């Protein structure tokens, strides 16, 4: 009967896992990006019951190649242009390993002082690196917290907005506003929070929220007896990376006393570079902001950051103190108990990988990555514009380029299908209204000019 992996065994197997990962990193570029499997293919390779007797580690590792790899979509390929990137990096993988080994539960300061204090400090660093309001630092009224996903952060702040307004209106009469291009997590958050209305506001030609339409909807809803409580601005929508007019929305939020949340899930990383910051003016007047280092910042999923301008309403909403969690640390010093900053109680040491990534690459490494990708996207967009067969579908402020085939939706869809059918690249087809378009997200860590050139050759051949 096997009950332990001894330290000696761990060392031996650990080295073999590192060798396996290193080989994957070396070989992923040459692999087909998309797997050829049908639903059930992978599951059917597993027995119907858990093993009664333990197996050797060699058997587990062998099944990585036999069972897992045929069903893996290679998000870490430099030929990955689909969705948004979800990048890993060597240093982040190693930090995950250490975090797993330490097995910290950082729900209270006292259950893992290092988890809490490193997280506080690293999120303060990011405030400076991204030129966010100083009041969002832990030394100010606000503060940052790492969550699993942008969806979690958005759901959390919508619950806070509802809680703050609980004496003014019933949740079913509350209204949250987003553009009709906003991520589905906002609508889901309204459902989770029991908020009665999630209203989609029209957008302009660049797919950005129209503030005049927002204002008139708010006025209409107030006249109807509803209670507007929050508005969400997107800096980089999912479909086209459209940027909502944050400043105009901040004016309206202030006028009608709405919680103003900013969703910069993908594009937030670009704010390490000064030249992109004009996209997010007036942040000193927003209530919360979220972005995903697990998209473009080389930090393994999961790592999302939420900042609030004022931590009091968040803690007021989320704090419940059962006897088992009471402790004396708050009497001794000023401590943050992160369990009061989100829905889950337990929390792992995610800050370690963010800390290591920021230290290993430095701000200039991350800036260089963003700038290289955006330059590649700009030149890809120029190529699209110069070819009579294609048209740009939307502005491309960051690393995403959206285009259509001039022969219409069917030709666009056929091209998207043909590109993915090669399995040499992954791209995402999408639709707004009735128009089909192709999204090319240039942002995988190892994507370079040679990969974009190969993509262009494929597009040229298949059009
Ligand atoms: N918001 C935007 C604008 C997104 O693009 C995404 C995902 O791509 C999300 C939210 C959801 O992110 P997560 O998967 O971290 O919940």
Residue with tokens 């969690």: 325
State how far the Cα of 462 lies from the Cα of 451, in Å rounded to an integer.
17
Q: Would you kindly state where each structural domain of the chain is located, as residue ranges?
A: 7-30+35-72, 97-357, 362-462
Q: What is the pLDDT of residues 223-233, one digit of tens each?
A: 999 999 999 99
State how far the Cα of 19 lies from the Cα of 5, in Å rounded to an integer.
19
Beta bridge partners of 436: 431
Residue 271 Cα, ligand 1 centroid: separation in angstroms? 17
Q: List ligand 1's pocket residues with C-beta within 6 A.
A: 84, 149-151, 183, 185, 234, 236-238, 263, 265-266, 292, 304
pTM for this prediction: 0.96
Residue 34 Cα, ligand 1 centroid: separation in angstroms? 22
Phi, psi for residue 228 in degrees, rounded to 5: -65, 130
Residue 412 Cα, ligand 1 centroid: separation in angstroms? 25
Nearest CA to ligand 1 atom 8: 238
Nearest CA to ligand 1 atom 5: 238
Residue 180 Cα, ligand 1 centroid: separation in angstroms? 15
Rg over CA atoms, the chain:
24
Phi, psi for residue 174 in degrees, rounded to 5: -85, 150
Q: What is the pLDDT of residues 363-383, one digit of tens each?
A: 999 999 999 999 999 999 999
Q: What is the pLDDT of residues 329-349, one digit of tens each?
A: 766 667 899 999 999 999 999
Q: What is the mean pLDDT of residues 127-135?
A: 98
pLDDT at 385: 97
Is the backbone of residue 193 left (phi > 0), alpha (psi -120 to 50) or beta? alpha
* DSSP string of 183-224, one letter each residue: -HHHHHHHHHHT-SEEEEEPB-TTS-B-HHHHHHHHHHHHHT
pLDDT at 333: 66
What whole-number percentage of the chain has pLDDT above 70? 99
> CATH fold of 362-462, please?
3.90.1150
Q: What is the pLDDT of residues 97-109, one digit of tens each?
A: 999 999 999 999 9
The CATH number corresponding to 7-30+35-72 among 1.20.1340.10, 3.20.20.10, 1.10.1740.10, 1.10.150.120 equals 1.20.1340.10
Return the ligand 1 atom nearest residue 267 CA.
Answer: 3
Q: What is the pLDDT of residues 415-443, one digit of tens each?
A: 999 999 999 999 999 999 999 999 999 99
Return the ligand 1 atom nearest residue 148 CA.
Answer: 15
Which of 264, 269, 255, 297 minimizes the C-alpha distance to 283?
264
> CATH fold of 97-357, please?
3.40.640
Which of 248, 314, 243 minimizes the C-alpha distance to 286?
248
Tokens of 447: 């994507």
Among 150, 270, 304, 306, residue to substitute to test ligand 1 (most atoms within 8 Å of Cβ): 150
Residue 150 Cα, ligand 1 centroid: separation in angstroms? 5
pLDDT at 164: 95
């Amino acid at each position: 009967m096997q009950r332990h992996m001894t330290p000696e065994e761990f060392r031996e197997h650990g080295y073999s896992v590192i060798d396996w990962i290193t080989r994957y990193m070396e070989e992923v570029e040459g692999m087909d990006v998309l797997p050829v499997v049908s639903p059930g293919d992978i599951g059917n390779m597993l027995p119907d019951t858990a093993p009664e007797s333990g197996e050797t580690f060699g058997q587990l590792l062998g099944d990585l190649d036999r069972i897992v790899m045929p069903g893996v979509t290679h998000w870490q390929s430099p030929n990955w242009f689909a969705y948004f990137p979800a990048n890993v990096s060597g240093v982040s993988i190693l930090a995950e390993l250490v975090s797993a080994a330490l097995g910290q539960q950082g729900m209270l300061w006292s259950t893992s002082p290092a988890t809490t204090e490193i997280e506080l400090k690293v999120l303060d660093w990011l405030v400076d690196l991204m030129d966010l309001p100083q009041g969002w630092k832990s030394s100010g009224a606000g503060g940052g917290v790492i969550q699993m996903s942008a969806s979690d952060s958005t759901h959390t702040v919508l619950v806070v907005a509802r809680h703050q307004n609980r004496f003014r209106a019933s949740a079913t009469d509350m209204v949250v506003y987003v553009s009709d291009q906003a991520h589905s997590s906002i609508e889901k958050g309204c459902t989770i929070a029991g908020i009665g209305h999630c209203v989609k506001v029209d957008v302009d030609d660049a797919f950005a929220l129209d503030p005049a339409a927002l204002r008139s909807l708010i006025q209409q809803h107030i006249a109807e007896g509803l209670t507007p409580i929050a508005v969400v601005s997107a800096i980089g929508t999912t479909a086209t990376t459209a940027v909502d007019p944050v400043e105009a929305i901040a004016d309206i939020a202030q006028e009608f006393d709405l919680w103003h949340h900013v969703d910069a899930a993908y594009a937030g990383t670009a704010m390490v570079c000064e030249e992109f910051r004009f996209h997010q003016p007036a942040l000193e007047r927003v209530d919360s902001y979220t972005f995903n280092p697990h998209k473009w910042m080389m930090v393994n999923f999961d790592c999302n950051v939420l900042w609030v301008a004022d931590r009091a309403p968040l803690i007021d909403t989320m704090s419940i103190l059962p006897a088992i969690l009471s402790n004396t640390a708050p009497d001794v010093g000023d401590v943050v108990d992160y369990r009061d900053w989100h829905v889950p109680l337990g929390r792992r040491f995610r800050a370690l990988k963010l800390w290591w990534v920021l230290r290993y690459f430095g701000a200039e490494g991350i800036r260089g990555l963003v700038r290289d990708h955006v330059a590649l996207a700009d030149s890809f967009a120029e190529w699209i514009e110069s070819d009579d067969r294609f048209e740009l579908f939307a502005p491309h402020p960051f690393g995403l380029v959206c285009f259509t085939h001039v022969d219409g939706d069917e030709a666009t869809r056929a091209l998207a299908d043909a590109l993915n059918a090669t399995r040499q690249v992954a791209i995402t087809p999408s639709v707004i209204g009735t128009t089909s378009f192709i999204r090319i997200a240039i942002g995988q860590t190892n994507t370079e000019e040679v990969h974009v050139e190969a993509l262009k050759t494929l597009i040229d051949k298949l059009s």
